[in-house]
Chain A
Amino acid sequence: MNRILRAVHKPRPSLELPAWLSLTTGVIVLGCLLYAPLISAPYANTQRALVCVYAVVGLGLHLLTGMTGQISLGHGFFFALGAYVSAVLAGTAGWPYLLAIPVAAAVGWGVGFVFGLPALRLSPLSLSVVTLALALITPSLIKRFDDVTHGARGIALDIAAPPAWTGLDRDQWVFYICLAVTTLTGVMCRLLSRGRTGRAMRGLRDNEAVATTMGIRPSTTKSFVFATSTALAAVAGVLYTYVTQFVAADAFHLTLAIAFLTMVVVGGLGSLPGVILGAIFVVYMPSWTAEINESASGLMYGVALVAFMFLMPYGVAGLLRAVGGPLLQRREQRAGQQE
């Protein structure tokens, strides 16, 4: 037992699966995901779509935390921003609903950049204070702009209806949209973290002074990363309105920020596949525990945050790496011997 605990406490590189394995897994998973909605109940599809919604936020947080080592509790605000962009444009103003996605991304990026310019000059401790404060005031901000947001009463929507030629129901159609956006986001995050920006960000995280002397501008790079992650949160907010068809101030309490944080912690700080696992956890766990008590799901979030920090600081992804790493190594050794 102790050996396992020690093993998951070490930071590990992500698993380098052989190309054929990741390709087949990818194709099978994608196939299942494309086929499953056609034979599932609407409720199941709604939950799967919510996993995608959370995953998009999680991918943004993954960029921020994994690359810069900073953490934000304020992404609930940007999530709300995206949700209201969608509710107002697609709902109240009657624009095509898909248009809300790029608009929310742009707004989320811009607001995040403006917020990040001063905020990212702060120490990690101060940034955590500021973003927690942002999370705490989000509901009252929404209520303040009551004439647009309709505050606690909220806005009921009727958007994201499937085109007639598809023959799909709304829950199926919405899931496919969410899946597509999540996949695109995942690919984009992978490219970002492997490319120039990724190297710059890792440099900053590991040693800001050295990175600066090598010509990386900390404020620009950090603001860019922060804005990208808030843009993703805003996009997720739009998807959220497709799924729930309703927005109201009370959906954006501290609980939402905590759910986002739980997702990243459970999945594994700084692991891309971990984000998906985390999203699955925060979406499905409440529905399992709801039968016990309505407080049980929130309690699980809290307990998970504490427990994971002590038992599995690198989350489920860290566990998979600790278990999978030696297995892969053995396989490679065997392959080497055969040659």
Chain B
Amino acid sequence: MTVLLQQILDGLTAGVLYAAIALSLVLVYRTSKLVNFAQGELATFGAFLTWQFHDWGLPLSVALPASVAVSFVAGALMERTLIRPLLESSNHLGLFIVCLGVLVTLLQVEAWIWGYQVKEMPNVAEGPPIALGPTMISRQNVVIIAACVLIAVALWFLFQRTRFGLAMRAASDNTPSANLLGLPVTATLTFSWGIAAVIGTLMASLVAPNQFLQPGMLLPVLLYSVAAATLGGLDSPVGAIVGGLVVGVVENLAGTYVPGIGQDFKQAVAFAIIMIVLLARPQGLFGSRTVVRV
């Protein structure tokens, strides 16, 4: 029983990371109608930046905000320079290829600058793990979960309580109408990409101490996050979070309890989730039906 509870807790902790990256994917998908496969690598790059700033002697409390700020600019810039021209000519094949191109480029730039040797990233919260009933959770993981909750609340506030958030939702719902009403459609696009990059960098920097900071750190996570976003519905932020947690728990339990799956083969669970959801219910749990058309 304790093992089961511990597995579920570990699954949720892992799921929080999947949820965060899935959230980034969803933010981008809602505005640009594409799955940015480079999202995970952008986040890893952000974590490297945090490490680099810290290595230059900045305290983590300065290094992290600094890399988050750089990420916002980088994400926004990627949208402006690489994505929008192709989006305007609705070249979907081209967008897919460019996203992969960015993924590979980032991966190799990381390897070039920082090499493949794992970088030691300090924890934000040090100290012995905290006991939750019969289960244990590390302090860093508590911070990670708190950060994800914070992100979710902040996004909810942005979408539901601000004028710009309203414009973001309207623009992703019906772009021509949003243009006719004079809503700042292009600004919402750029902003979404920036925010998506910020979420990635923040979470990647926090999980870097556990995940071994090296190029391609989040490639396996990308797979789970794509599964999470697909399960939740590609255009639903709530779906991304629920999907992330579900995928985290299912993956962990399957790896432990289903015979023949084991630690290596857990990735196949994510693949199966993607395939089954896309075939049986393409809009996912919370997505809107229009996803099917794309």
Contact = CB atoms under 8 A, between A and B. Distances in A.
Interface of A: 65, 69, 71, 73, 118-119, 121-126, 128-130, 132-134, 136-137, 140-141, 143-144, 254-255, 258, 261, 265, 269, 293-296, 298-299, 301-306, 309-310, 313
B101 A309 contact: yes
Interface-central residue, B34, B100, B103, by most chain A CB under 10 Å: B100
Given A126-B278, A129-B278, A293-B112, A302 B104 contact: yes
Contacts of B227: 133
A73 B219 CA distance: 15
A324 B274 CA distance: 45
Contact of B268 (A140, A298, A313): A140
B105 A299 contact: yes
Dominant secondary structure at the B interface = helix
B82 interface: yes
B94 A129 contact: no
Interface in B262-294: 262, 264-268, 270-271, 274-275, 278-279, 282, 292-294
Contacts of A126: 278, 282
| Most B CB within 10 A of own CB, among A69, A126, A134, A303 | A126
B69 interface: no
A144 B264 contact: yes
B86 interface: yes
B197 interface: no
Interface string B86-123: 10000111101110111111111101100000000000
B195 to A, nearest CB: 22
Contacts of A261: 97, 100
Interface string B237-280: 00000000000000000000000001011111011001100110
B104 A310 contact: no
B222 interface: yes
A43 to B, nearest CB: 25
Contacts of B109: 295, 299
A140 B264 contact: yes
B258 to A, nearest CB: 13
Nearest to B282: A126
A305 B112 CA distance: 19
Interface centre among A69, A134, A140 (most CB of B within 10 A): A140
B226 interface: yes
Contacts of B137: none
A305 B294 contact: no
A71 B107 contact: no
B35 interface: yes
Given A121-B279, A128-B35, A295-B111, A305 B268 contact: no
Given A125-B92, A299-B109, A313-B91, 11 more contacts: A124-B92, A126-B278, A126-B282, A140-B264, A141-B268, A255-B104, A258-B100, A296-B112, A302-B108, A309-B98, A313-B94
A306 B105 contact: yes
Interface string B52-93: 000000000000000000000000000000100110000111
A298 B97 contact: no
Nearest to B35: A129
Interface residues of B, number: 48
B105 A144 contact: no
B192 interface: no
B48 interface: no
Contact of B293 (A123, A255, A301, A310): A123
Q: Which of A124, A136, A313 has the most CB of B within 10 A?
A: A136
Given A136-B222, A141-B268, A309-B101, A128 B96 contact: yes
Nearest to B107: A298
A309 B294 contact: no
Contacts of B274: 129-130, 133
Interface in B102-159: 102-109, 111-112
Nearest to A254: B219
Contacts of B167: none
Given A118-B275, A123-B292, A125-B92, A306 B102 contact: yes
A206 B81 CA distance: 29
B18 interface: no
A310 B91 CA distance: 11
Contacts of A296: 108, 112
A241 B98 CA distance: 31
B93 A69 contact: yes
A3 B85 CA distance: 19
A299 B271 contact: no
19 contacts: A65-B93, A71-B93, A71-B97, A73-B100, A123-B282, A125-B294, A129-B35, A133-B223, A136-B219, A140-B265, A140-B267, A143-B264, A144-B264, A258-B104, A261-B97, A294-B111, A302-B101, A309-B101, A313-B91
Given A269-B93, A298-B111, A313-B94, A122 B101 contact: no
A71 B96 contact: yes
B220 interface: yes
Contacts of B267: 136-137, 140
A123 B234 CA distance: 13
Nearest to B93: A71
Contacts of A125: 34-35, 92, 96, 294
Nearest to B33: A125
B83 to A, nearest CB: 11
B233 to A, nearest CB: 13
B230 interface: yes
A303 B105 contact: yes
A29 to B, nearest CB: 29
